[in-house]
Each structure stands twice: as C-alpha cells, then as structure tokens.
Structure 1
Amino acid sequence: MRLTVYLAGEIHTSWRDEIKQQAKDLQLPVDFVGPMEDHDRSDNIGEEILGEQPDKIFKDAAASSLNNLRTEILMKKSDVVMALFGEQYKQWNTAMDASAAVAFGKPLILIRQENHHHPLKELSRKAHVTVESVDQAVLALKYIFE
C-alpha cells in the first residue's frame, strides 16, 4: 500500500525536505504533494493564465483562485494531510489548509510547538493527532504501516 501525503504549511523553510528525507530513510511507501513552493509562481499564476489584472487586489484574487483549485484537487486526492504551524511566518494558509482537510474528511496530523497549544486548541481537537515536531509526525506516519 502507498499513501499520498499533502504537506500543508508555509513554503519558506525546509521542513518538507526534512519529512521527505526521514520518510525515505525509513523506506515508507509514501508520495508527497503540497502547495506551490515557488512563491513568485504562486503569486503570478493568475496573470500568467488569465492575463494582466487591473491592480494588486485583482492579481491576488486571480492567483488565489488557481492556487485554491490546485490545493483542493491535490488535497482531495491525498490519503492524509500533515499541517505544520511554524514559528517564523504568519500561518494563515496553514490554518485554511488544515481546516479544509477537516472539512474534506481527510486524516490530519497537526504539527505545532507547545507554545501554539492555546491558539490552536480547537483545531488540534479536530485533528486526528497533534504532535510537536516533524520527527513525531514522521513517526505517526510510520505507525500506519506497522
């Protein structure tokens, strides 16, 4: 059995690479998908497909429509979602993706440090499991195959 794992969360740090490497080291039969990690492409895809927009708000709206389409399709085709709430960046997209996973009925592994316990308490209760590190998330994934 192979699983597809959607990696939701900020795109500016290497946390996805850590998960992919650990899964590879453990020889887990998983494939990973996630949001567009090329920030410029994500921001400009609306104009690339739909043409130049009249202002930044319309540009963002066009890009968001296409990014939401991509995210929904990949997430719905995934078997499990891992959502990381990091320390360095605002985490609005992570919250949206984790909530979407819950709404889609996707198993959710929520990764958040202890200091995020209170602000994420409701979302943590909706997740199948909440962990505090990437290492713990990979071990939770590994347990599925035992």
Structure 2
Amino acid sequence: MSNERVVCAACGSNNFATQAACWKCGRALVASVARPAYALPTSESPAAFWSSVAIGIFFPIISIPVGLVFLMLDDKRKTQIGWWNILFGLLGTVLNGIVVMVSLAPLVMNATRMIPGLGGRGAAQSQDMNSEVAPLEIPGQRPFATPPR
C-alpha cells in the first residue's frame, strides 16, 4: 500500500493514491501527489488572511491553538488559515511582550527608587530625605525648632 496522497482538484481534500474518487465530494481524482503539509500556501481569501492577522495580534493566546486545530483538517483552505493563525499568533506574542516591557519599565524603575534595599540611587536617597530641605519659615512667626537627629 502506498503512503502517497492525492489532493482533490474540486474540494481540496486529501485522498489515498489508490482511490479512484474523492471521499468528500465523489469526483474522479487526477493522479497528482499532494503538497507536503509544511508548505505555506498563498492566501486565497483576503477575509481569512485579515481575520488571522486580527486574532493573532490582539489575541495570540487564542490564535495559536485555533491554528493548530485548523492544521488538522483536510481542506487546504482551512490548513492555510491554520498556518496564518499560527504565524500571526507568534508575531502577536512577540509584539505584546514588547508592549508590556515598554509599559512596565517606568513602573519598575520608580518602584526600585522608592523601596529601600533594592539598590540603585533610591536606596541612598530614601534613608533621610528631610536633610536636604530647609525648615519652613513663615513671616511674622517664630521659626520652628529643628527636630533632633
């Protein structure tokens, strides 16, 4: 028995090379060997492409499993959508990671300055911040006593 596959020209489903008719649509098969599963086909549907872009960029954690499910189907158009979902899901994961790092960098920098003992310039400044400020003087009133050190 041969392990080769034949792609139906009408519906795109995979069939064994020994079959005379397509299992899905029933049309006669032409003896052409199927493309390998790893080949990334060109886009046939702009709507499928742009929906894969949108779900991959905005919801990459959903896009990658959806793409894997679509890769398991026999229809070459659905396999194509699966490849696009995985590709843009990985791209979306990288882009979302960069956005999170850029967004959280100022927060982390400020936290290290405010919490003593985390190192950096903040540790030395947070020990005695009042030593640099002159006492408050109100005109017509006695000056405040300096607090003991």
TM-score, L = length of structure 2:
0.19
More strand by share: 1
Q: Using CA pairs below 8 Å that are at least 6 residues apart, which structure has the higher relative contact order? A: 1
TM-score, L = length of structure 1:
0.20
Q: Greater CA radius of gyration, 1 or 2?
A: 2
More helix by share: 1
